[in-house]
Amino acid sequence: MLANFFLAILLIVMATSVMISIDTTTSLMVGLTKRVLRMTHRSKLLTEYILRAYMRYRKTINKPIISNSY
């Protein structure tokens, strides 16, 4: 009977530690996912900014220096 009591306590401790570790792991994964999404959003904004700057550059390069209006 005493062995069953100790086994029950051991089972409760194991279940509690598993729940705590799952909660910690879930929190870490949520934080990591948020960071990755934030970096991807920044990367997307940066790519769009660079693309727009390149398009402005190409438009400026293709303009004639002297307009040939006769």
Residue at 8 is within a domain: no
Examine residue 68 and state whether it is found in any structural domain, yes or no.
no
Q: Is 42 a domain residue?
A: yes
Does residue 38 fall inside a structural domain?
yes
Residue 11 inside a domain? The answer is: no
- 31-53 pLDDT, tens digit per residue, is 898 888 888 888 888 888 888 99
Residue of 54, 3, 34, 35 lying closest to 11 (CA atoms): 3
Cα end-to-end distance, the chain, whole Å? 109
* Residue 28 domain-assigned (yes or no): yes
Q: What pLDDT, on a 0 to 100 scale, did the predictor assign at position 64?
A: 67
Average the pLDDT over each of 3-7, 20-24, 56-60 and give the range with the smallest value: 56-60
Domain containing 52 equals 24-60
Number of domains in the chain: 1
Asked, for residue 65, whether it belongs to a domain, the answer is: no
CA–CA separation, 30 and 25 (whole Å):
9
